[in-house]
């Protein structure tokens, strides 16, 4: 069946036409079968041209439209919208890239670039001969969002979504919200403390009736898809009845004989197996750490509200979309990495930040006053031999900011920074300048010649070949060595695995594209925010959470969703179920159907992501990807190959 195809060749104001003879391209394709309209334009994307295209489509009764211009990453959506406004289906539009991949790539060879452009446009025409109007897959969506993780990013996202009138389920694995931000006192680039931020956000959360907070809760099962994710959530009990007598609770904590390291203070202090929230954490409540509780019964003797009969609950939630804000883990140095865990006065930056919060007038560590502090940078980041090749971005500023606060809070402090180059990017440079003005000393080493932390007698020494003093070997005796540790992905990635979320090279959760689609994942309906995606500071986490919440809202705001119909399709006559496609599909989108004596595969369109991984493994060539069929690809190849 013949079609009526219109082709526009854009000059892009000379970006294309300076190197590609666009009139020659027009001449070469206007006699192609099915092409009824060819035009060159100065700027195809200009409003005036878009209006002209709409008119052309209607007046010439076009079936398909091709614009040969810039990369589809820039204007595919623009021209799809033009075709829709003119009454066509958006899948009857094709965008041929003759700028980035032709005129710019071959601006050293104008005749060659022109020939190349002709082939590219002819291939586009060959593809569009087979284009069919496609119906987006429409599904009902629940106007509810599950936000996983109630750190600063998750809390902020929950508030933003609630303000947009969504039902929000905020699910936090710990018994208290706030994440790592609750652990920090002073914050850089902010007048607020971590406690202030978390307190403000928590009380704002409580103002919204459409937010339900689940603490001590974890998603254990995921079924469904964008529009309707069915989540099973396990909620751990606190083993204490609601509204207990505060005096009895106080007594119960006193009599509890079990002491465990307090993770809130990075194990610098101990807490009981029955414990209250730290003042920085919310909600204010007491819980029993059942994993460490010995059930000795001492607390029950003094407090009527202790209730060991409470059972964990499994609840089912339905959400149209899921926003991951599951955060990071601070890097734990390996045994003896810069003396960690071997030398008693070597601690990490997060531990140091808690130590400052715990020490009032004097900075005391293990009974000794600390005056001379050595900061060793990039521990767990930019590892020459380890797995973590990335820069954690926040740590230079965090270390310098902390060193300034130490000087302001305590007397007689001397700070020595053993860096690999300071990366206090943007406005954070002011902290670096302030620290220099206050008299901090900066030394720098190469990646292949890192500083060494060692002990001589009862002294802790740090040695460096300092680049800044022509590689002189310098040695410093320190009262405390602070390892400026990186952010690493959560060790427990079980929830991300439930949703089959892809991870990047750095093992953080991966977005589709860091610039073009920075909060979306390849799993439809799942967005990511904050440090589960990579190292960020608090301001960056909040920005990303607002972006993710806007994107999440856009999925469900209409109550109905349109999915791209680019999915695999199985020819059941050719298929005889060999299992290969089922094995190859990373999303469990392929099911087996038995029909009499025959078995064959079927695709679940709402789960299929259109990756095409099932295509080449089929021994019967029974699978095609819509818009990438054998016919379309092979006819494109025919056109590109022609001399």
Partner 1 sequence: MNASDKKNAKILVFSTDKISDPAIDMAGLLKLYYPVKVYTIAIPCSSAVKSRWIMHAYEKGFDGVFIAADGSDCPYDESCTEKTGLIVAKTQELMKQKDMDPARLRMSAVCSVCSEAFVRQMKSFNEYLSKSA
Residue 280 in tokens: 């920085």
Cβ(125)–Cβ(29) under 8 Å? yes
Instruction: Check residue 492 for interaction with partner 1 (CB under 8 A).
Output: no
Instruction: In angstroms, give the least distance from the CB of 6 to partner 1.
Output: 22
Which listed range, 395-403, 412-420, 488-496, 501-509, lies at the site for partner 1 (CB under 8 A)?
Answer: 501-509
In angstroms, what is the minimal distance from the CB of 489 to partner 1?
14
Min dist CB 536 to partner 1, Å, is 20
User: Which span (32-40, 51-59, 360-368, 607-615) binds partner 1, by CB under 8 A?
Assistant: 607-615
Q: How far is the CB of 109 from partner 1 (least distance, A)?
A: 4
Task: Tell me if 13 contacts partner 1 by CB under 8 A.
Answer: no
* Chosen residue from 86, 120, 148, 607 binding partner 1 by CB under 8 A: 120
3-state class percentages of the chain: helix first, strand second, coil last, to nearest 5: 30, 25, 40
Contact positions with partner 1 (CB under 8 A) in 82-111: 97, 99-111
The SS3 call for residue 157 is helix
Which of 95, 173 has the CB closer to partner 1? Answer: 95
Are 413 and 407 a contacting pair, CB within 8 Å? yes
Considering the rule CB under 8 A, would residue 23 count as an interface residue with partner 1? no
What three-state secondary structure class fits 592? strand
Three-class SS state of 603: strand
Minimum gap (Å) between residue 582 Cβ and partner 1:
14
Residue 633 in contact with partner 1, rule: CB under 8 A: yes
**Of 137, 436, 584, 602, which lies in the binding site for partner 1, with binding defined by CB under 8 A?**
584
Phi–psi pair at 263, nearest 5 degrees: -65, -25
CB of 496 to partner 1, least distance (A): 12
Burial label, 541 (beta-carbon count in 10 A; 0-12, 13-18, 19+): buried
Work out how close the CB of 543 gets to partner 1 at its nearest, in angstroms, rounded to a whole number.
Answer: 21
Binding segment for partner 1 among 186-194, 210-218, 229-237, 514-522 (CB under 8 A)? 514-522
Q: Which of 1, 207, 243, 641 binds partner 1 (CB under 8 A)?
A: 641
Closest CB 256 distance from partner 1, rounded Å = 45
Whether 249 and 286 have beta carbons less than 8 Å apart is answered as yes
Nearer Cβ to partner 1 (74/302): 74
- The residue from 522, 550, 580, 602 that contacts partner 1 (CB under 8 A) is 522
**HEC profile of 372-395:** EEEEEEEECCCCCCCCCCCCCCCH
Task: Give the burial string for 471-491 (b: 16+ CB within 10 Å, else e).
Answer: eeebebebbbbbbbbbbbbbe
How far, in Å, CA of 505 to CA of 638, rounded? 37
What is the x/- site pattern for partner 1, positions 531-570, by CB under 8 A?
A: -----------------------------------x----
Instruction: By CB under 8 A, tell whether 119 contacts partner 1.
Output: yes
SS3 call for 229: strand
Considering only the stretches 45-53, 385-393, 450-458, 606-614, report the one whose residues sit in contact with partner 1 under the rule CB under 8 A: 606-614
Report the distance separating Cα 394 and Cα 47, nearest Å: 43
Nearer to partner 1, 99 or 173 (CB): 99
Site membership for partner 1, residue 518 (CB under 8 A): no
DSSP letter for each residue of 272-340: ESEEEPPTTSBS--EEE-TTT-----HHHHH-TTB-TT---EEEEEEESEEEE---EEEPPPPTTGGGT
Q: Does 116 bind partner 1 (CB under 8 A)?
A: yes
**Residue 235 near residue 317, CB atoms below 8 Å:** no
Which one of 512, 539, 574, 593 is in contact with partner 1 (CB under 8 A)?
Answer: 512
- Return the half-sphere exposure (C-beta side, CA atoms, 13 A cut-off) of residue 167: 10
Report the residue number, 337 or 632, with the smaller CB distance to partner 1: 632
Binding positions for partner 1, rule: CB under 8 A: 71, 73, 97, 99-113, 115-116, 119-120, 123, 502-505, 510, 512-514, 516, 521-522, 566, 584, 586, 609-613, 615-616, 621, 625, 628, 630, 633-634, 636-638, 640-643
């Amino acid at each position: 069946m013949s079609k009526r195809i219109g082709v526009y060749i854009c000059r892009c104001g000379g970006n294309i036409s300076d190197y590609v003879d666009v009139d020659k391209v027009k001449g070469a394709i206007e006699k192609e079968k099915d092409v009824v309209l060819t035009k060159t334009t100065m700027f195809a994307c200009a409003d005036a041209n878009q209006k002209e295209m709409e008119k052309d489509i209607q007046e010439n009764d076009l079936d398909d439209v091709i614009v040969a211009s810039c990369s589809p990453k820039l204007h595919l959506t623009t021209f799809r919208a033009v075709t829709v406004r003119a009454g066509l289906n958006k899948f009857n539009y094709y965008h041929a890239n003759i700028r980035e991949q032709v005129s710019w790539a071959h601006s050293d060879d104008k005749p060659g670039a022109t020939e190349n452009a002709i082939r590219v446009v002819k291939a586009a025409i060959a593809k569009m001969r087979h284009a069919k109007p496609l119906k987006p897959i429409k599904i009902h969506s629940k106007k509810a969002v599950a936000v996983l993780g109630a750190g600063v990013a998750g809390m902020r996202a929950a508030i933003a979504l609630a303000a947009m009138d969504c039902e929000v389920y905020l699910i936090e694995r710990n018994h208290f919200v706030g994440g790592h931000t609750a652990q920090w006192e002073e914050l850089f680039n902010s007048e607020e403390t971590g406690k202030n931020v978390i307190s403000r956000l928590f009380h704002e959360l409580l103002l919204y009736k459409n937010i339900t907070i689940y603490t001590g809760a974890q998603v254990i099962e995921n079924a469904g898809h964008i529009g309707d994710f069915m989540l099973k959530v396990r909620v751990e009990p606190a083993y204490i009845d609601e509204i207990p007598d505060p005096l009895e609770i106080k007594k119960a904590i006193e009599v509890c004989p079990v002491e465990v390291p307090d993770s809130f203070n990075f194990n610098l202090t101990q807490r009981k197996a029955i414990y209250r929230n730290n003042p920085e954490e919310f909600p204010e409540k007491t819980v029993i750490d059942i994993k460490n509780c010995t059930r000795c019964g001492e607390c029950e003797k003094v407090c009527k509200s202790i209730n060991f009969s409470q059972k964990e609950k499994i609840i089912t939630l339905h959400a149209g979309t899921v926003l991951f804000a599951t955060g990071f883990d601070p890097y734990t140095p390996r045994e003896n990495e810069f003396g960690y865990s071997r030398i008693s006065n070597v601690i990490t930056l997060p531990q140091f930040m808690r130590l400052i919060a715990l020490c009032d007038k004097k900075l005391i560590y293990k009974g000794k006053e600390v005056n001379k502090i050595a900061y060793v940078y990039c521990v767990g980041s930019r590892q020459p031999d380890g797995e973590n090749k990335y820069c954690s971005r926040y740590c230079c500023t965090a270390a310098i900011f902390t060193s300034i606060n130490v000087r302001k809070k305590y007397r007689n402090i001397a700070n020595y920074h053993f860096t690999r180059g300071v990366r206090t990017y943007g406005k954070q440079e002011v902290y670096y300048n302030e620290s220099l003005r206050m008299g901090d000393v900066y030394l720098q080493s190469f990646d292949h010649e890192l500083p060494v932390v060692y002990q001589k007698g009862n002294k802790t020494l740090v040695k460096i070949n300092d680049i800044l003093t022509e590689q002189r070997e310098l040695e410093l005796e320190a009262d405390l060595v602070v390892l400026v540790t990186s952010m690493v992905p959560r060790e427990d990635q079980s929830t991300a695995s439930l949703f089959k979320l892809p991870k990047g090279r750095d093992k953080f959760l991966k977005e589709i594209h860091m610039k073009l689609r920075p909060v979306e994942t390849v799993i439809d309906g799942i967005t990511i925010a904050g440090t589960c995606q990579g190292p960020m500071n608090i301001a960056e986490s909040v920005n990303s959470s607002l972006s993710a919440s806007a994107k999440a809202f856009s999925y469900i705001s209409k109550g109905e969703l349109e999915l791209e119909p680019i999915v695999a399709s199985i020819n059941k006559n050719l298929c005889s179920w060999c299992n290969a496609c089922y094995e190859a599909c990373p999303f469990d989108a392929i099911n087996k159907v038995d029909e009499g004596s025959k078995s064959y595969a079927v695709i679940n369109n709402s789960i299929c992501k259109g990756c095409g991984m099932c295509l080449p493994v089929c021994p019967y060539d029974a699978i095609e990807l819509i818009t990438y069929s054998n016919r379309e690809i092979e006819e494109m190849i025919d056109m590109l190959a022609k001399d």
